[in-house]
Structure 1
Amino acid sequence: MALGLLWLGLTLLGVLQTQAQDSAQNLIRSPPLLRIPLQPDFQDDQFQGKWYVVGLAGNAIRKEKQGQVKMYATTYELKNDGSYNVTSTLLRDEGCDHWIRTFVPSSLPGQFNLRGIKRYPGVQSYTVRVVATNYNQYAIMFFKKFYKNQGYFKTTLYGRTKELPPERREEFIHFAKSIGLTDDHIIFPIPIGKAQ
């Protein structure tokens, strides 16, 4: 009896491990950075400030698994060295979650890397690109990271307000699909409170 339970437990463990590996292997491959547009003549001082996350798409995002995602805000604070302190605030249940990161500029204006990557166990690289922005209304961002030898990427549609014109959403959807994502990988978070 005990031997049978041991074999059952080992079999279930093997199945779970195989499913976890399969889901990681089924991720859409991240496109090379050379295929990702970069905002020409990026203006770091105009980009800083508060942005709402109006749209999200990524190879680890699935509509059916994400459910109803609440909109959150991300603030870029430009520092004297050209880096940004980036704070994301997400409302959860009765409180707020805050993520604070520092993005340092690379040799390409509008492209950044995560500072202090060693503080994030398992993260081997993390690159951020400003794909397109008009600074006062919207921005399309691209994020690429390698975590435990697996490539993850996402694109985010930022808005200075919680609502954007339909053509901006269409531009975002078109970009997401151009990098290999499908409708199932694209979500639009639900605004919290009144549009600002």
Structure 2
Amino acid sequence: MGPWWALWLILTLPQILEGQAPAMPRGFSQMKSFQSDQFQGEWFVLGLADNTYKREHRALLNFFISLFELKNNSQFQVTNSMTRGKRCNTWSYSLIPTTKPGQFTRDNRGSGPGADKENIQVIETDYVNFALVLSLRQTSSQSITRVSLLGRNWRLPHKTIDRFICLTRTQNLTKNNFLFPDLTDWLPDPKVC
């Protein structure tokens, strides 16, 4: 290994390693602590932004709920429930905490060898009203960035929605990448599945 190769490796290795976990977006501060016991429970998914979403995908997103259940080993069991017509779709996965507050990796052990690695970071939350969550996943062909707006109830202040939009912009997502479920047919307190 020549000196140029070594220099290149020294200069690029930190960037390569940094790309493996969510970095704190501009305008947001690193959480000092994360209260898993306060975060657990039911969250309504009120908005999603993803670099793979396009306008034509908007009709595919129905209202859904994510239930975060804290397990003895400090992991979350996440169960999502969404209605599609008269059917109920559910899917689950585990989130394994990392050393950073509010940061997790998604457990893909059941997905087989070569499963995509996904890093998830709770960027901001007040535990009782809203949470902003950033997910970064690397597949064999692309990097997928997703921002989720979670709420404990149906209505969020405009300031919270503005923070969601701000977070999406720091991830180079545009309004074409946004999906908001249509809630017009739901009663004030729907139960999914």
Establish whether residue 52 from structure 1 lines up as the match of residue 44 from structure 2: yes
CA distance in 2, matches of 1:90, 1:170: 26
CA distance in 2, matches of 1:88, 1:163: 20
Match of 1:34 among 1, 20, 23: 23
SS in 2 for 1:45: helix
4+ residue runs over 6 A deviation: none
Once the two structures are superposed, residues 8-57 of structure 1 have per-residue CA deviations (whole angstroms, 9 ceiling, x without a partner) of xxxxxxxxxxxxxxxxxxxxxx8962244543311110000000000100
* Bigger mean CA offset, 56-65 vs 153-162: 56-65
Match of 1:187 among 139, 158, 179: 179
RMSD: 2.1
CA distance in 2, matches of 1:183, 1:87: 28
Give the letter aligned to residue 193 of structure 1. Answer: W
Establish whether residue 169 from structure 1 lines up as the match of residue 158 from structure 2: no
Verify the 8 A CA contact 1:141 1:155 in the aligned structure 2.
yes
Match of 1:155 among 127, 147, 171: 147
SS in 2 for 1:123: coil
Matches within 5 A, 1:17-166: 33-36=22-25, 37=28, 38-67=30-59, 69-117=61-109, 119=111, 123-166=115-158
Verify the 8 A CA contact 1:140 1:157 in the aligned structure 2.
yes
Which has more helix, going by share of residues? Answer: 1
SS in 2 for 1:42: coil
Verify the 8 A CA contact 1:161 1:195 in the aligned structure 2.
no
Q: State the aligned residue count.
A: 167
Verify the 8 A CA contact 2:108 2:115 in the aligned structure 1.
no
Q: Which runs of no fewer than 5 residues in structure 2 stay unpaired?
A: 1-18
2:11 maps to: none
CA distance in 1, matches of 2:142, 2:114: 10
CA distance in 1, matches of 2:176, 2:129: 26
Post-superposition offset of 1:74: 0.2
Which of the pair has more CA radius of gyration?
1
CA distance in 1, matches of 2:91, 2:113: 15
- Would the alpha carbon gap of residues 152 and 121 (structure 1) be closer, same or farther in structure 2, given more than 3 Å must change? farther
Verify the 8 A CA contact 2:58 2:180 in the aligned structure 1.
no
Give the letter aligned to residue 145 of structure 2. Answer: F
CA distance in 2, matches of 1:34, 1:66: 28
Q: Which runs of no fewer than 5 residues in structure 1 stay unpaired?
A: 1-29
CA distance in 1, matches of 2:168, 2:82: 23
